[in-house]
Amino acid sequence: MAPQTSTPSPSSAPPAPRAQLIHIEVDRRLGHEWDEWNGQPLPRGGDFSAAPGLFFRFAAVTLAVATAAVALLLYLIGPRLGTLWPLLPRILWTVLALFAVVQWLYLGVVAAAFYSGRNLLPERLLERGPYLQLMNYTSLVARVFGKRDWVEHAAIDVYNTLAGRRGRKVGKGELLVLIPRCLSKQALDGVLEIAGRYEVPVFVATRGQLARRVIRERRPRAVVAVACERDMMTGLRDVAGRLPVLGLTMQLPNGPCRDATIDLGQMERWVQGLVAAAPARGRTKQ
Ligand code: SF4
């Protein structure tokens, strides 16, 4: 006779193991620009102020690196291209040389415009034109040297100086103030006070995508944006070509994405300068 086995009834089974729910308390939500932050305090209390000359030095290195990279490529593939058409390598070398001359001339004009106090070129050829690309490529090179935030700060300062000199005026309802979610309470109160005084709308843009949406929907004629250097570079690259922007960078005394402070005096000067004595809509300078 086969042995009888008894299966335990469900009621007598030991309870199934339950997953433990672990709560992780986060005291900040990092913007993706800061993904690689190691949690250590930022240098100089998160103040990345740097002299504009730093940007010009790194921009010169960027042009040299870019020219050298293309020259190396041409040197390597030139003989092969010569088998297709013997004149081709010579033409490409000439184009590269001309391009390099134009790039260096452009950098010289930007530096002359900045230091001479006269913009020398229309905005489409200066701060709202190729300068935005130059800023971004320079930032890439600065990262290699661990100088990203300082070089970006200097680049944004140069941009603001050139843009501010245009003396643009807009109506109160035509200016938009965009702030990030990471401002300290004191900074936020200060921004709201300034915005209230000059009757300009303020939007908290939690992500660049949202900032672009607000701009699309509100259709401002100028923007004063607040962000850290990293976020500001992306914002300027995406928006400044289409819309006049002044970009106020922040200090990050408690690390990225929390309790940021700003120069409220600078913000007020910009807002006041943009909306003061603004002519009626339709007669404003764009
Ligand atoms: S602007 Fe503020 S929230 Fe956005 S990435 Fe910079 S530090 Fe973080």
pLDDT value at position 277? 57
| Tokens (6 digits) for 212 | 């672009």
Residue whose token pair is 């006779």: 1
Following DSSP, what letter does each residue of the chain receive, concatenated?
-PPP--PPPGGGSPPPPPPPP-----S----GGGTT--SSPPGGGG-----HHHHHHHHHHHHHHHHHHHHHHHHHHHHHHHHH-TTHHHHHHHHHHHHHHHHHHHHHHHHHHHHHT---S-GGGTTTTHHHHHHHHHHHHHHHTT-HHHHHHHHHHHHHHHHHTT-----GGGEEEEE-TTB-HHHHHHHHHHHHHHT--EEE-SSHHHHHHHHHHH--SEEEEEE-HHHHHHHIIIIITTS-EEEEE-B-TTSTTSSBB--HHHHHHHHHHHHTTPPPTTSS--
Q: Tens place of pLDDT for every residue, the chain, 286 residues?
A: 444 444 444 445 666 666 655 544 456 789 889 999 999 999 999 999 999 999 999 999 999 999 999 999 999 999 999 999 999 999 999 999 999 999 999 999 999 999 999 999 999 999 999 999 999 999 999 999 999 999 999 999 999 999 999 999 999 889 999 999 999 999 999 999 999 999 999 999 877 778 888 898 999 999 999 999 999 999 999 999 999 999 999 999 999 999 999 999 999 999 999 997 554 444 434 3
Amino acid in position 270: W
How far apart are alpha carbons 160 and 165 in whole angstroms? 8
Task: Calculate helix-pair angle for 88-116, 148-164, nearest 10 degrees.
Answer: 70
In ligand 1, which atom is closest to the CA atom of 31?
5
CA of 143 to the centre of ligand 1 (A): 18
Give 89's contacts (C-beta < 8 A, 6+ positions apart): 74, 78, 79, 81, 82
Question: Distance between CA atoms of 242 and 222, rounded to whole angstroms?
Answer: 10
Please give the pLDDT value at position 172: 85
**223 conformational bin, left if phi > 0, alpha if psi -120 to 50, beta if neither:** beta
**Pocket of ligand 1 from Cβ distances under 6 Å:** 31, 33-34, 180-182, 227-228, 230-231, 256-257, 260
User: Going by CA atoms, what residue is nearest to atom 4 of ligand 1?
Assistant: 31
Q: What is the 273 CA–ligand 1 centroid distance (Å)?
A: 26
Q: How far is the CA of 95 from the centre of ligand 1 (A)?
A: 41
Question: Using CA positions, which residue lies closest to atom 3 of ligand 1?
Answer: 257
> Ligand 1 atom 6: the closest Cα is on which residue?
228
pLDDT for residue 28? 77
Measured in Å, residue 248 CA sits from the centre of ligand 1 at 12
- Compute, in angstroms, the gap from residue 181 CA to the centroid of ligand 1: 7
Atom of ligand 1 nearest to the CA of 226: 1
Looking at residue 205, what is its pLDDT? 84
Q: Going by CA atoms, what residue is nearest to atom 1 of ligand 1?
A: 227
Whose CA is closest to atom 5 on ligand 1?
31
- Cα of 260 vs centre of ligand 1, distance in Å, is 8
Asked whether the beta carbons of 29 and 257 are under 8 A apart, the reply is yes
Token pair recorded at residue 161: 């100086």
